[in-house]
Structure 1
């Protein structure tokens, strides 16, 4: 159940990430090892939630900060191990943008498969007499609908222009 505080509702994600990172911090991992753990495990933890809900910006920034602190090292003799400057662009996700992309993907699924269960349920509840591209927010909308509707702008121009 998601209440008024969206940040508190999803803080369990942050706790899971914290547990994973704390479990690894006492191990001597190489930079490629850290990279694989961050990309394959830590960035995968919020993916399921991000495909349905718009996560709070503060939560996304805190998750990115936790990953950055883990990446840049642990205190070893009061010095942090650092990656050489010539190794930029490691491909860590911008979690806010990834969240928007996952929600836009849900919009795309609703548009391309109107006979799916989620498309039928949302259409009946929120846009019964209109199209997904022109929905109203409705009375007491769910967080799922608010999240998906918020990502609709990413697809609107392409769909209306006939690019899909």
Structure 2
């Protein structure tokens, strides 16, 4: 079998307990494969169990041709390729159905544990050392469908929050965190009351939680930029809003500019579009094309950010 002209031919693949042979769905080639198999049988004394063997045809092979090849080979089982190192050998089917075995494996583990009384510490160990490790090998080869990932997250969350299995527990933390949550209000009052977390300076005697958050801020600033709104309060020369990697403030035409000029001052508030004349008067020519390529949201919102490394502006662990 040759995938393309530039690829080498593949006639067989040998696994620990299975052998795969490739040929065209033609009687002459099927007969040739059988001659090779029979020669090996006589030379080695090892015989193939055709009742446990199976055939996998391409999607374009019609039913009549399939039956002819089955009769010629003496093998009448379809599919049945199974797994190798816990990875399916045939990945041509629906990907959600293909990786259902991961969800089933996870559910089996969780169902075994839910009958026991486990402390939070023990649950954490189980989740980190076993549940999160289940899909690791498969994920090193394939990108799992979003549905499978969501099922994984939901099952693990249910296991974590449920105190009296199999009853459903209360999820004390929402999937989406909001700036007005209690913990955000406490941190704001202690560390960044007059500014934002991204601009806060180091505090005296900070807690370990805030020290950890503050340490990660440097990495975060390399990938985020402020999103433009028509009433936004971004400072043109101080805030990072120019869409580059990493984002940066705009470059002025002259050395002396209005220090507190805001991005909203460069937007025509009636048309909600960039004021080209003002851009030419204040901003360096190299930055103008970058600015004009940015969409302006007409909604009246404040303090929104986007992830500069993804086209959809959404942060993902992979894009860090």
After TM superposition, the score normalised by the length of structure 1 is 0.47
From the two aligned structures, give the one with the greater helix fraction: 1
Q: Which has the larger radius of gyration?
A: 2
